[in-house]
Amino acid sequence: MTLLNRPLPATILVVALLALTAYGVSHFPRSIVVFMLFQASILLLYFARMPSWLKGVLTAGTLGVLMPVLGSINAYYLEIAVQVGIFVALALGLNIVVGLAGLLDLGYVAFFAVGAYSWAIFGSPHANSIFGGGAFPLAGWWFFVFLLVGVAVAAGAGILLGLPVLRLHGDYLAIVTLGFGEVIRVLANNLDKPINITNGPKGITPISRPPIFFDPVLRALGIEAGPNVVYPLYLYFLVLIIVGVTVLVNRRLEDSHVGRAWEAIREDQTAAQAMGVPLVRMKLLAFACGASFAGAVGVLFSAKQVFINPESFTFMESIGVLAMIILGGMGSIPGAILGATVVTVLNLQVLKGLSLWLNELRNAGIEIFGYNLANLPTQLEPAKYERMIFGLILVLMMIFRPQGILPARRRHRELEEPR
Amino acid sequence: MDVDLLIGIFPQVLLDGIILGFMYALIALGYTMVYGVLEFINFAHSEIFIVGAFVGVEILLGLKAAGLLEALPWVLVLLLILAAGMVVSGTLAVVVERVAYRPLRNTPRLIPLISAIGVSFFLQDAIRLFESLWNNSFNLVYPTIDALNHRFEITETIDVPMKSLVVIVAALLMLWALHAIVRRTKVGKAIRAVAEDQAAASLMGINVNRMISITFLIGGAMGGAAGVLFGIQYGLINPYTGFIPGLKAFTAAVLGGIGNIPGAMLGGLVLGLLEAFAASYLSLLTGGAFGAEYKDIFAFSVLILILIFRPKGLLGEVVRERA
Amino acid sequence: MRLARLRLVIASLVALALGLPMASTADAQSKGTIKIATQSPLSGGQAALGEGIKLGTQLAIEKFKGPLEKAGFKVELVPFDDQAKPDVGVANAKNVISDKDIMVVIGHLNSGVAIPSSEVYREANLAMISPANTNPTITDRGYPNIFRVCGRDDVQGVVGSEFAAGTLKAKSVYIIHDKTTYGQGVAEFFKADVEKKGIKVLGYEGTEEKSNFDPIITPMKAKNPDLVYFGGIYEQAGPFFKQAREKGVKAKFMGPDGMDSSDLTKIAGKTVVGMNYTSVAGPVSVYPKAKQFAEEYKKKFGKNPEPFAAQAYDSTAIAIKALEAVTKGGKAPTRDAVTAAIRDVRYSGITGSVEFNANGDPKTALYFVLQVASDDPQKWGDNKEVKRLTIAAPAAKK
């Protein structure tokens, strides 16, 4: 750690590690372990002390160049990166509501659903069954308009939820938001009659993707790439931009008077009101802001998946996002990012990798302590117990590092003091 | 619209709703006990509850295999599995508290909530692991006890089975017992003191940790009993079955005013009646445009409405808000 | 000796950590490894069904891998847990296509997961054979690499209604479904067709409820239908039928192939004796192959097959047949070749003879209507065939 505090050795170390691990991934494209080392080097980059411009350049280089290159070697890694991005944006949005304003929201995924369905309905032929005619799907470029529509609709839903619950505190708020989340999901599951709006459990497909407007540029550069190659990269960069904007907005908000007002409400509502914080406006703003990010990524999610149905928007997803920000450190932007990354990587990569690895050990018939793994009964198959391990990790994290991995500085002080 | 039909099924729907309501109330008692003392949503209560159901079914299957199920009087069997379920679930709740919640006593309230969610995930698949090694199957079916399936016909169209009466009687008994413990005994007084102010209670010579353990023991035991009755009432259980009823029961507890024991009972009844009437009548009243699938929307909308007008639940919170 | 074994273990652990094929364990004449992946929920609420798919595949691989191994290939199963979540399924799918040894995917359980995941398989032209996705959209998209051995909702619903009108002579019916793609899908087609045949639909309800069906049964009992049709899976239908009969509903019961599990009688006991269900899997009592499958499954895993396990078994058998054709003469298989070869496979298995049409549906689907014979789960195999119907796959709607 001391090495990381001195700029020059830190820079050299981090660059060397990034280069080495990236080379490692290109050499062993199937190795989860090597890819994790690469991810760890990115984390190290965050911790290393170096001039901020240099850090910016290195981050941009890693995420903008290295990651896509590695992603084109193994598409699975790019998919993980895209999903990490989606969950980072969701976590940052929820961080505003829960982390900054202290309003416990257990139905956050509802806003994600609202965004996703807004593009899914109009970006697919499904809208024809509502409005008649054959005007739909809308052309691909509408996708960019719908990013804003998604923001607006989700923010509207946020205010809609915020209005009735202004008087509620703590766990009453939690249960109402939980109810709201379920209501949105059940509505999505049921609104195939009397008017078919969401097509119910059967879901909506095919959903248009944004057009490859830079196709002429690619051709001019002599790159002949089919949509199968372009789209994952394209979506990756879109996610990167959305996450970038989200981080920027979050940072500006945090240090603005609005952010301070939210934190004041979180710490002591009565005192905040006495100091002249407009409670109603600030709470509604928190709900709307938090929801709007979810709306934007929702639009992107539906374009990425090409198909959506209500199964993606269950209560468990809300809980998952909440776990991310608490794991990362409540109210902290780097914490939310790291929390989302850790949980997603854990779920999609580490636990899956572990199961596959154990499965290969079985297939190879390796003996451990004289016990042949091929004889392992199917009841003990590792793939079945991923959630159990995740639960265990959650508990252990909370016990040994309750402030989260990267706690917010202000929050940190508060935790040190006895309640 | 067939008005005769609408009126004709009314008593039966009312009865359905009351039975469901008592079921929710039974589970809600466990949430409310713990919340009343620690102001903490014990998310893992749904798994503690379903563990009780698994204990019950294991004993019943064991008795059946030994040929004793028919031989023993049904009341004895019922009491036996209820007691076993209560002991195991209560112990489990105490262990969970000791391992996963106690180290987090003084952290912000969201931290134990996440820990509880972790416990919930862990327990679900741990039950599954255990049952699939033990039974090679984790969907377990309660063997039928004929006496409990006996139906009392009130009129030609309205009837109520014995097992539902057992649920109602058990719920009322447990409510009464819980009330008596909390209000009339020394332990209850100590628990109330801990709920009021942990520091002051400890200064008065109350062992706070022990009181909290006892609270979890009682809450868990209530959950275990609810689990056994749930299994008898509905038949099929698996490790994931507890989650949804748990969520509903928690809603019921909030509806009645969380931390408030009679409130949990009232909240359960209101929720049960709402669900029953929504599921039975929506489709009939709207000509099929909306149906039973909207019952949860209906229940949650009413919940939101009630909380707007009574932000502390129907009967209000017992816990005082800390300044 | 012990040291050598330890070294072997460490070497293979390192090899696995680096994602390399395990050279140390493969024998000298091996031409490489062929992997068959399954994707289905192995954890969470739908794990029992997802596991059935995995175990069916496992059994088929063990049974049919002989010729491939003789030709010098190692055949392995790679089970993935999609957790019934679309995003997890898609991430797994990307992982699947990045493993060049995987030649076929058997899956998924949920159409909601299968549709976005199959977009990924299509990028790599990797064949997916579905044992359970009955949603018409799956094959109506006309992707060359997507196949299914199970029926389609629009066919199975009609088969059910034919039987209700023709054999049962029902005058009125009450329809319940489970609000999933599968259950609602088949219930909708059933409803449309019974209405066409002039049967009165007294009620049509969806519910996600798993335990307490009282509020749905009360109006049903009051309306007194001739037949109750449940579009869904036995886990939900079992408690429903049991509670309905106990509450005094006198109607006949009926359901789709989600009922085809001995657990149905374990749950509902004598209340489902005599009920009918439709299935593409032939009754064990008539077909020696089906009987053999059920016995082997039970022997290996200690339990009766779940619904869709037989379909997974057949899917795998078809995949292995295609692989055999492709590797003839010791050639290494490619995904393109395997996908093309599956289309040419003619296979007669436990779910009837399968031959795929241009969309990847079986050209003709042979449906059985079966009747539950006994309340003893051990005698699920005695279920009688009461009718059989052959229906051609409908042309894709554009």
Choose the closest CB to B236 out of C45, C203, C238.
Answer: C238
pLDDT at residue A364 is higher than 80: no
Q: What string of pLDDT tens digits covers the 323 residues of chain B? A: 578 888 888 989 999 999 999 999 999 998 888 888 888 888 899 999 999 999 999 999 999 998 888 888 889 999 999 999 999 999 999 999 999 999 998 888 788 888 998 999 999 989 989 998 888 788 899 988 888 888 888 777 778 889 899 999 998 999 899 989 988 999 999 999 998 888 999 999 999 999 999 999 999 999 999 999 999 999 899 898 898 899 899 889 888 888 888 899 999 999 999 999 999 998 888 877 788 888 888 888 888 888 888 888 888 765 544 33
Distance from CA of B31 to the nearest CA of A (A): 12
CB contact, 8 Å: A327 with chain B?
Answer: yes
- pLDDT at residue A419 is higher than 50: no
Q: What is the mean pLDDT of residues C147-152?
A: 86
Are the C-beta atoms of residues A273 and A280 closer than 8 Å to each other?
no
pLDDT for the residue numbered C394:
72
**Between A and B, how many CB-CB pairs are < 8 A?**
140
Which chain C residue has the Cα nearest residue B134? Answer: C302
Give backbone dihedrals phi and psi of C384, rounded to 5 degrees, phi first.
Answer: -90, 145
Q: How far apart are CA A170 and CA B110, in angstroms?
A: 10
Query: Measured between alpha carbons, how far is A284 from A274 in angstroms, rounded to an integer?
Result: 18
Contact at CB, A78 and C92, closer than 8 angstroms: no
Question: Which pLDDT tens digit goes with each residue over C41-74?
Answer: 987 778 888 889 999 999 999 999 989 988 889 8
Nearest chain B CA: its distance from C242 CA (Å): 9
> Are B293 and C207 an interchain contact pair (Cβ–Cβ within 8 Å)?
yes
- Sheet bearing C127-130, strands edge to edge: C73-81, C32-40, C102-107, C127-130, C146-148
Q: Are the C-beta atoms of residues C292 and C33 closer than 8 Å to each other? A: no
Please tell me the predicted confidence (pLDDT) of residue A370: 65
Q: Write down which chains contact chain C via at least 3 CB pairs under 8 A.
A: A, B
pLDDT bin (cut points 50, 70, 90) of residue C202 is very high
C20 CB neighbours in chain A (<8 A) are 28, 30-31
Which tens digit of pLDDT belongs to each residue from A163-186?
887 778 777 788 889 889 989 999
- Please confirm whether the linkage preceding A216 is cis (ω < 30° from 0): no
Which chain B residues contact residue C179 at CB under 8 A? 293
The pLDDT assigned to B261 comes to 86
Interchain contact, C218 vs B20, CB within 8 Å? no
| Rounded Cα distance, A389 and C394, in Å | 45
Give C3's pLDDT tier (boundaries 50, 70, 90): low
Strand-pair category, B140-141 with B236-237: antiparallel
Among C36, C257, C258, residue whose Cα is nearest residue C128? C36
Alpha carbons B112 and A325: distance in angstroms, whole number: 14
Mean pLDDT of all residues in A20-42: 87
The Cα-based distances of A250 to A55, A94, A292, B130 in angstroms read 20, 11, 12, 45
Residue C18 pLDDT grade (very low, low, confident, very high; cuts 50, 70, 90): low
Residue A197: HSE in the Cβ half-sphere, 13 Å Cα cutoff:
12
* pLDDT of C24 higher than 50: no
> Which tens digit of pLDDT belongs to each residue from A281-302?
999 999 999 999 999 999 999 9
- How far, in Å, CA of C301 to CA of C299, rounded? 6
* Residue B103 distance to chain C (closest CA, Å): 29
Using CA atoms, how far apart are residues B102 and B120, in angstroms rounded to an integer?
A: 16
pLDDT of residue C8: 66
From C22, C116, C181, residue closest to A201, measured CB to CB: C181
Percentage of chain C lying above the pLDDT 90 cut: 42
Instruction: Give Cβ neighbours of residue C338 (< 8 Å, ≥ 6 apart).
Output: C103, C104, C127, C319, C322, C323, C326
Q: What is the mean pLDDT of residues A192-215?
A: 86
pLDDT at position C13: 67
Whether residues C214 and B245 touch (CB distance < 8 A) is answered with: no
Q: Do A352 and C92 touch (CB under 8 A)?
A: yes
Rounded (5°) CA angle C177-C179-C180: 105
Is B124 close to A187, i.e. CB distance below 8 A? no
pLDDT confidence tier of residue A416, bands split at 50, 70 and 90: very low
Are B104 and A399 inside 8 Å of each other by CB?
A: yes
CA separation for the pair C138, C181 (Å, rounded): 12
CA–CA gap between residue C287 and residue C261 (Å, rounded): 17
- Calculate how close chain B gets to C175, using CA atoms only, in Å: 12
Which tokens belong to A145? 């308009």
Say which residue the tokens 């399936």 belong to.
B149
Residue B205: how many other CB atoms lie within 10 Å: 7
Its sign, for the CA torsion B93, B94, B98, B103, is positive
Does a cis peptide bond (omega within 30 degrees of 0) precede residue A9?
A: no
Lowest-pLDDT range of A149-163, A184-198, A219-233, B248-262:
A219-233
Q: Cα separation of C149 and C308, whole Å? A: 10
Percent of chain C residues past pLDDT 70, beyond the cut: 92
When the pLDDT of each residue in chain A is averaged and rounded to a whole number, the result is: 86
Give the integer Cα–Cα distance in Å for C291 and C280. Answer: 15
* Residue A389 CB-half CA count within 13 A: 14
User: For residue C4, what pLDDT band results from cuts at 50, 70 and 90?
Assistant: low
Please report the DSSP string for C176-189 in residue order: EE-SSHHHHHHHHH
Rounded to two decimals, the pTM is 0.90
Query: Nearest C-alpha of chain B: how many angstroms from A398?
Result: 6
Residue A381 has pLDDT above 90, yes or no: no
Mean pLDDT of chain C: 86
CB within 8 Å of chain A, chain C residues 138-197? 141, 179-181, 184-185
The enclosing H or E element of C118 equals: helix C111-124
pLDDT at B120: 93
Which of B114, B133, B303 shows the shortest C-beta gap to A394? B114
Query: Chain C within 8 Å of B146 (Cβ-Cβ)?
Result: no
Distance in angstroms (rounded) separating the CA atoms of residues B24 and B273: 11
- Return the closest-CA partner of residue A182 out of B32, B279, B301: B301
**Who contacts C327 (Cβ-Cβ below 8 Å, separation ≥6)?**
C34, C68, C71, C73, C333
Contacts (Cβ under 8 Å, ≥6 apart) of B145: B60, B69, B74, B77, B78, B232
Query: Using CB atoms and an 8 Å cut-off, which of residues 179-198 of chain A contact chain B?
Result: 179-180, 182-183, 186-187, 189-190, 193-194
- What pLDDT sits at residue B90? 96
Contact criterion met (CB < 8 Å) for A395 and B118: yes
Considering only alpha carbons, which residue of chain C is nearest residue A373? C9
Q: Are A346 and A324 in contact (CB under 8 A)?
A: no
Q: Residue A213: which residues within 8 A CB-CB, separation 6 or more?
A: A141
pLDDT the model gives residue B135: 82
Higher pLDDT, C165 or B305: C165
CB atoms A384 and C44 under 8 Å: no
Nearest to C321 by CA among C5, C63, C94, C4: C63
Burial annotation B224-255 (CB, 10 A radius, 16+ → b, else e): bbbbbbbbbbbbbbbbbbbbbbbbbbbbbbbb
Most B-contacting residue of A319, A327, A388 (CB-CB within 10 A), to test interface: A388
Q: Does the beta-carbon distance from C87 to A357 stay under 8 Å? A: no
Nearest to A36 by CA among A297, A344, A258: A344
Distance CA A94, CA A108 (A): 7
What pLDDT score does C398 carry? Answer: 39
Cross-chain residue pair A388–B119, CB shorter than 8 Å: no
The pLDDT of residue C9: 67
> What pLDDT is attached to residue A90?
96
pLDDT value, residue B321: 43
Question: In this structure, are residues A367 and A376 in contact, taking their beta carbons and an 8 Å threshold?
Answer: no
